[in-house]
Amino acid sequence: MIVNQTQREYLRERIRNITNSKVSKLEAKYTTKGVAVTNKAKWGLILDGTVKPKKSAKINTYHTSYYLEDLYDFSEYEDKVNSKKLKPALAKLHAKSQEVRDRAMLGDCDQAIKLLTELEEF
For the stretch 97-116, pLDDT in tens is: 998 888 877 777 777 788 88
**8 Å CB contact between 93 and 119:** no
* Cα 98 from Cα 8, distance rounded (Å): 14
Q: Are residues 118 and 94 in the same domain?
A: yes
Query: How many domains are contained in the chain?
Result: 2
Region 30-34: what's the mean pLDDT? 92
Q: Are residues 88 and 122 in the same domain?
A: yes
Q: Are residues 46 and 70 in the same domain?
A: yes
pLDDT band at 90 (very low <50, low <70, confident <90, very high): very high
| Domain, as residue range, for 46 | 34-78
Q: Are residues 24 and 39 in the same domain?
A: no
Give the residues across from 108 on adjacent strands: 2
Give the residues across from 72 on adjacent strands: 53
Q: Are residues 104 and 122 in the same domain?
A: yes
pTM for this predicted structure: 0.71
